[in-house]
Structure 1
Amino acid sequence: MAEPIIELKGISKTFGDNKVLDEVDLKIYQGEALGIIGPSGTGKSTILRIIAGLLAPDSGEIWIQGKQRQGLIEDGESPVGIGLVFQQAALFDSLTVEENVGFLLYQHSKLSRQRIRELVSEKLEMVGLPGIGDRYPAELSGGMRKRVSFARAIMSNPDNPKDNPEVLLYDEPTAGLDPVASTVIEDLIRDLQSKTGGCNTYAIVTHQDSTIRRTSNRIVFLYQGKVQWEGVVDDIDITENALVRQFFSGSVEGPIQVAG
């Protein structure tokens, strides 16, 4: 089997008295669509931030394309570009869409403003939002803001191809959206996986049944800080794992402890 592009080995993380990750092992392979699911508060978003290099684990190892990462993303050059799409889009309200999408290029490249605008236009076209570069985030719907954040995440840097994202991490990309807007985002995630200039490898954290089924090929189920189950999407409906069955049925009866 091919070597994983990203591998977590024995990753643990504690916040105060809450151990959210307990010696978690996780692999992401080239070209994979990995879904990370489980009840709220089980460390799913924490895993994404650790993979992205924004948060350090308390213990364990992070391997990126066969090279062990030491410290956070700014502590050394990563062999793979990793983009993170935040749950709330995380756009700068005072900047236009064009300035948001091209932010890293404006800050860290020597490209002309005109060239950056051309690159931004290409990415906005890819996410189905042509001609909105002069708008501000407050003028956009929730679904449009999500798509702008996708465009920013896949932005490439012709001056430094090493910065180009090879792995995308989606944190609850359909949270807070109505079913139709969610479908648009789900379709876009799959579309970007197959498009030139998109990103063919990703991991997605989500609670929504449709998003899990439509955007993931392989799934890992997190609960109480550990990977409790792993399988492909078709396994969801046939597994005997009580945690998975309770999660997808929405039942309050079962091994998952219901808060409150």
Structure 2
Amino acid sequence: MTEPLIELKGVSKSFGDNIILDHVDLTIYRGEALGIIGPSGTGKSTILRIIAGLTPVETGEIYVAGQQRQGLIEDAQDPIGIGMVFQQAALFDSLTVEENVGFLLYQHSKLPRRRIRDLVARSLEMVGLPGIGNRYPSELSGGMRKRVSFARAIMANPDNAKDNPQVLLYDEPTAGLDPIASTVIEDLVRQLQFADEGCGSYVMVTHQDSTIRRTTDRVVFLYRGKIQWQGKVSEIDTTDNPLVRQFFSASVTGPIQAIG
């Protein structure tokens, strides 16, 4: 393995009496494509929000590029940029695509507007959506909105390298998409990983079989607040772990309790 970019050590999180994460240890390495999988409601999105610095932990430590994080992202800047692609794209309906993609630079940088527009145009081109900066989210398909959220996540600030994402966090990016649109998004995830101006490390949370197999190299299986199994994506079909076997067979019989 290469050097760790992000480390979670003994991280726990509860909501009321519901224990979501129970002393979880997780390492994200530079240059890897990590998948976090498991049944619904097991804390996968919570882990992403903790990694992004958006949700506090109750116990445990978080290290980013070797430095321990204190508080949330709003309390102190991480030594590297972390971008997040939310499940529902999370675009501002009242803003144009250009304003959505360039939002952080417009709000928090001193770059001239023309320079930001150029950076936005380049980011949109990277996700295969050139020339749509003047449209509004309501004028886009679901797949296009997802790609716009990708463009926003990879936006770089040439004046501040710490703002530039070195890790991307994907929360169910293919949820609700048809198989063809899902394939477009899956291909885009890999293209951005290896693009010169892309982001070489990412964490993927997904339930979708094709997305797991096409976008991840290493997988951790989360259930009942703990990592129950981890291995290469190629080991999914050969493991004898009953949780993994039940999950991928979609069987209602096994250690995973069916909900609803």
| TM-score bracket for the superposition, by shorter chain length | over 0.9
Aligned to 1:166: 166
Aligned to 1:229: 229
Alignment of 1:65-104 (within 5 A): 65-104=65-104
User: Does 1:25 find its partner at 2:25?
Assistant: yes
Aligned to 1:57: 57
> 2: CA distance between counterparts of 1:175 and 1:57?
27
Aligned to 2:6: 6
1:73-95 CA-to-partner distances (Å, cap 9, x unmatched) read 01112111000100000000000
Q: Which one-letter code corresponds to 1:169 in the other structure?
A: L
Aligned to 1:156: 156
> 1: CA distance between counterparts of 2:162 and 2:27?
22
> 2: CA distance between counterparts of 1:26 and 1:74?
23
Percent identity over the alignment is 77
Give, in angstroms, the shift of residue 151 of structure 1: 0.2
CA RMSD across the alignment:
0.6
Alignment of 1:182-197 (within 5 A): 182-197=182-197
> 2: CA distance between counterparts of 1:161 and 1:60?
28
User: Does 1:34 find its partner at 2:34?
Assistant: yes
1:131-181 CA-to-partner distances (Å, cap 9, x unmatched) read 000000000000000000000000000111110000000000000000000
Q: Which one-letter code corresponds to 1:18 in the other structure?
A: N
Give, in angstroms, the shift of residue 3 of structure 1: 3.0
Aligned to 2:215: 215
Give, in angstroms, the shift of residue 2 of structure 1: 3.4
> 2: CA distance between counterparts of 1:44 and 1:200?
21
> 2: CA distance between counterparts of 1:3 and 1:188?
25
> 1: CA distance between counterparts of 2:29 and 2:220?
13
> 2: CA distance between counterparts of 1:39 and 1:227?
12
Runs of 4+ in 1 over 4 A off after TM superposition: none
> How high is the TM-score relative to the length of structure 2?
0.99
Give, in angstroms, the shift of residue 17 of structure 1: 1.2
> 2: CA distance between counterparts of 1:136 and 1:77?
31
Aligned to 2:202: 202
> 1: CA distance between counterparts of 2:190 and 2:84?
16
> 2: CA distance between counterparts of 1:140 and 1:123?
17
Q: Which one-letter code corresponds to 1:206 in the other structure?
A: T
> 2: CA distance between counterparts of 1:179 and 1:73?
35
Q: Which one-letter code corresponds to 1:121 in the other structure?
A: A
Tell me the secondary structure at the aligned position of residue 115 of structure 2: helix
- Unaligned runs of at least 5 residues, structure 2: none
1:74-128 CA-to-partner distances (Å, cap 9, x unmatched) read 1112111000100000000000000000000000111111111100000000000
- Unaligned runs of at least 5 residues, structure 1: none
> 1: CA distance between counterparts of 2:189 and 2:2?
24
> How high is the TM-score relative to the length of structure 1?
0.99
> 2: CA distance between counterparts of 1:162 and 1:63?
16
> 1: CA distance between counterparts of 2:77 and 2:92?
26
> 2: CA distance between counterparts of 1:74 and 1:106?
18
> 2: CA distance between counterparts of 1:259 and 1:237?
24
> 2: CA distance between counterparts of 1:218 and 1:170?
15
Aligned to 1:133: 133
> 2: CA distance between counterparts of 1:247 and 1:213?
14
